[in-house]
Amino acid sequence: MGMTITEKIFANKLGRDVKPGEFVEVDVDIALANDITAPLGIKEFRRVYNGKVFDNNKIVLVPDHFTPNKDIKSAEQVKYVREFALEKNIKYFFDGGEVGVEHALLPEKGIVLPGDVVIGADSHTCTYGALGAFSTGVGSTDFAACMIYGKAWFKVPETIKFYYFGELKPWVDGKDLILYTIGKIGVDGALYKAMEFTGPIIKKLPMHARFTMCNMAIEAGGKSGIIEPDEITIEYVKERAQREYKIFKSDNNAEYFNEIKIDVSEVDPQVAFPHLPENSKSVYEAKGIKIDQVFIGSCTNGRYEDLEIAAKVLKGERVAKNVRMIILPATPEIYKMALKNGLIEIFLEAGAIVGPPSCGPCLGGHLGILAEGERAISTSNRNFVGRMGHPKSEVYLSNPAVAAASGVAGEIVHPEEII
């Protein structure tokens, strides 16, 4: 029997074949943490060992959640991480003007590559599966152990194959495909499974859309999301890679836990209603829901192409009265590109607020907290109770085009109503 791409990545690390359900301990290529999760990991590291890290070139620390520091506590958190990074000579510590949203920053810098095993003390570490890597979120103590030993243990996950075919409707992108998929299988529909996205539609998707899909695998309970590398992947990676990498593909006779086929011709732009990503419906079913805030950004949809889509909708328009539109480019490089190509000017002329690369309001951190009774439409990945502020606020999830159009209309609408 053949192996899936996920099984092959583990097999490569171990030098032997593996089977789903098997417990393995493998070498880790990159271990990641941020300003919320790193301090606990560092504290455990110091308590248990406090010597040299296993490899100062394979640890990445990105204080992106509460930065620029929103209060004294967040400043102390980042200071603690900064001091550790300097003490241990961590190569990939991003601070100040170098900070970007971690899951956009690492691929952009060529730090994560195809065939890697990546763990991150952040649940959306599964983003890197878009590069053909096995990447998954872990706890801060697992991160601490990895800093000591350079290894992590896993149960080799079974794989569900999601096969996308048909023809995409206008304004439908990767965000809609993954929201539709989560709506189809539920928030626990892929529990501890590798979600392998494939089919003719996936092969045509640009990298930003692939990152979005893999980013939200965790919202279906997935252990990881993954897409086989192809010409589009290699084109993205070849000018960024800082080291050698390996390409793996699933065997034709690989065994899957399940195979789900999705005809994208049936998929409209999606809106996930409160308070779960699985509450995904056609944008037409959300029409008329009044909003108070729009957020365009995050590790899900803060890449340049996402901003470009939003700018296409917003050009020549104005954000509705009494609606706040917050746009956060995911990295400094994305910010520079948006500035150079006139996107920032479009946003400002539309009445949007453009802020620094940060997770911002996505997790209710800062730069856009919701008050009681307020509604937001957001390009982020979660809409749990109280996710972006008051427990009695509401968050609706969508792609950048729907979010931008809704900001202009003052209520949730299809982009076709604005353009």
- DSSP labels, 316-354: T--PPTT-EEEE--SSHHHHHHHHHTTHHHHHHHTT-EE
Q: What is the DSSP letter of 69?
A: T
Is residue 197 a contact partner of residue 162, using CB atoms and an 8 Å limit?
yes
* Residue type for position 158: E
**Angle at CA 197, nearest 5°, toward 124 and 108?**
50
Q: What is the pLDDT of residue 269?
A: 98
Rounded mean pLDDT for each run of 10 residues along the chain, 419 residues in total: 95 96 97 97 95 97 94 96 97 96 97 98 97 98 97 97 97 98 95 98 98 97 97 96 95 96 97 96 96 98 98 97 97 98 98 96 91 97 91 97 98 95
Into which CATH architecture does domain 5-261 fall? 2-Layer Sandwich (3.30)
Q: Which tokens go with 145?
A: 């152990």
Long-range contact set of residues 9-13: C-beta below 8 Å, sequence gap at least 24: 9/115, 9/116, 9/117, 9/133, 9/134, 9/248, 10/117, 10/134, 10/154, 10/156, 12/115, 12/246, 12/248, 13/117
How far are the Cα atoms of 51, 91, 290, 352, 361 from residue 322, in angstroms, in the given order? 54, 45, 11, 12, 18
For residues 77 and 85, give the distance between their C-alpha atoms in angstroms, rounded to a whole number: 13
Can you give the residue ranges of every domain in the chain? Answer: 5-261, 270-417
Preceding peptide of 124 cis, ω within 30°: no
Q: What is the DSSP letter of 415?
A: G
For residues 152 and 173, give the distance between their C-alpha atoms in angstroms, rounded to a whole number: 34
- DSSP codes of every residue in 217-265: GGGGT-SEEE----HHHHHHHTTT-SS--------TTB--SEEEEEEGG
5-261 and 270-417: same fold? Answer: yes
For helices 174-185 and 207-215, the axis angle rounded to 10 degrees is 30
For residues 284 and 272, give the distance between their C-alpha atoms in angstroms, rounded to a whole number: 12
Q: Give this prediction's pTM.
A: 0.95
Is residue 100 a contact partner of residue 64, using CB atoms and an 8 Å limit?
yes
Q: What is the pLDDT of residue 251?
A: 95
**CATH code, residues 270-417:** 3.30.499.10
